[in-house]
Amino acid sequence: MLAQDLIRDWDAHLAHEKRRSEHTRRAYIATATRFCAFLSNHHGGAVDAHMLKSLTANDLRAYLAARRAEGLGNTSAARELSALRGFLRFTGGSGAVVPPLRGPRVKKGLPRPVAPAEAMQLAQDVEDNAREGWVGARDFALLLLLYGAGLRIGEALGLTGAVLPLGETLRVTGKRNKTRIVPVLPAVAAAVSRYVAACPWPIAKDSALFLGARGGPLAPGVVRASVRAARRALGLPERTTPHALRHSFATHLLAGGADLRSLQELLGHASLASTQVYTAVDAAHLLDIYRSAHPRA
């Protein structure tokens, strides 16, 4: 079986069996496609299942070296190596042995939360500068949902009209189709209701809750562009992104006394280890306050 057929089958495997998101699949498939193109030049011939089974660590090392020469950083190189391991395991079938190769060392950074005042200022500026009133109401409601309920942007854009009218809780489908229940603050529910009332397009139970200018599902790139423009206008740091609002939700709850297990459920993390990173964020925030406020710091 040739490379293009193997990549197509792997894409189907990621979608239906692994239940990976479209964004993840697109990145993984792009990596596999680049890798197979590299192998074709590196070995001088068509890439098929037999060639992939006979690869060595030197082949992977040569590919990563070529990618690093193109400017790929440690984090991206580690991500590509992880994707390739999955691809080779799949193409090798049961009992496949992937050539051992240690990935580049990646320094783990902490999530950077946005201050509560900055989060609200950001949402308000996005609304104020929208080209139409209903678009501003939509973006304000969406950003409030990210900050007030800790949703990922993909989770928020995946909501349908079936959630209306919003009650005190909301069922959210996250990664790997895992569902969780999150509370809905009255301010968030009010913002969503205001958007729905202003929206010129009908919001059916089986269609997207957040709609674009032409009535189709809202694209995440539109939201990111609005946030990017607002943070520049307000002089906020580059880390102020839609996903940073989710980090802020977690950090502020932890600072307010939430326990890790509850926070894990609210965020939809499969592992408590993913949630524990916020304890370090909270400690770092307290240290920053100490250094700026203590007369002897």
Catalytic residue, from 67, 247, 269, 285: name it: 269
The reply to whether 175 belongs to the active site is: yes
Residue 214 a catalytic site member: no
Among the listed residues 195, 231, 278, 285, the single catalytic one is 278
Reply yes or no on whether 269 is catalytic. yes
Distance CA 34, CA 37 (A): 5
Q: Which of 13, 61, 180, 243 is catalytic?
A: 243
CB contact at 8 A, 30 and 68: no
User: Which member of 175, 180, 194, 224 is catalytic?
Assistant: 175
Our answer to whether residue 285 is catalytic in this structure is: no
278 is catalytic: yes
Annotated catalytic residue within 152, 231, 247, 285: 152
- Catalytic one of 246, 247, 252, 285: 246
Q: Let me know if 18 is a catalytic residue.
A: no
Task: Return the active site residues.
Answer: 152, 175, 243, 246, 269, 278
